[in-house]
Amino acid sequence: MKGGKSKADTRKTDSRLKSKDAGVGKRQSKKAAKDPNKPKRPASAFFVFMEEFRKIYAKEHPNNKAVSAVGKAGGEKWKSMSESEKAPFVAKAEKRKTEYNKNMQAYNKKLAGGGNGADDEESDKSKSEVNDEEEEDESGEVFLQDPQGRCHLHKQKTT
């Protein structure tokens, strides 16, 4: 019979397809997993401007649902603005950037300190300041306070 496949041919084809599909979806990504506790990068001055511009544009054009139209209109307006008009947005962006840098320093200290990130409350005191807080008892015992605010009893060696 011309054009027809035998059972042996179809089995070979099926086995090849199975071997090709076996690797699909099982690739290991080479990227490291993102840490959900890592602070997000701050918005640039343009994106700070766009936050406000979107609200204004939505009021003026209530029927427009296209994201691209809002982006194009915002970009054109940003280009036409003078430096003095952009100044408040640049100032807000700088403020967010300094806040981000402060959060990143705290985050990096937490990583370097071997913290597991379980405690969400940040102490205003550094670890060295916290470890310096000692309360000495009459019996020669010292209470040390750890970064989470818990007190630990340490006995002084008498010499």
Q: Which pLDDT value is given to residue 117?
A: 46
In sequence order, the 6+-apart residues with CB closer than 8 A to the CB of 46 are 78, 89
Task: Write the DSSP assignment of 96-151 as a string of letters.
Answer: HHHHHHHHHHHHHHHHHTT--S---PPPSS-HHHHHH-EEE-TTSEEEEE-TTS-E
Mean pLDDT, the chain, rounded, equals 76
Give the chain's end-to-end CA distance (angstroms, integer).
104
Query: Could you tell me the pTM of the whole model?
Result: 0.51
Q: Which pLDDT value is given to residue 143?
A: 60
Q: Is the pLDDT higher at 60 or at 2?
A: 60
- φ/ψ (deg, to 5) at 151: -95, 140
pLDDT digits (tens, 9 = 90+) for 119-138: 444 444 444 444 444 444 45
pLDDT digits (tens, 9 = 90+) for 22-78: 555 556 667 788 888 899 999 999 999 999 999 999 999 999 889 999 999 999 999
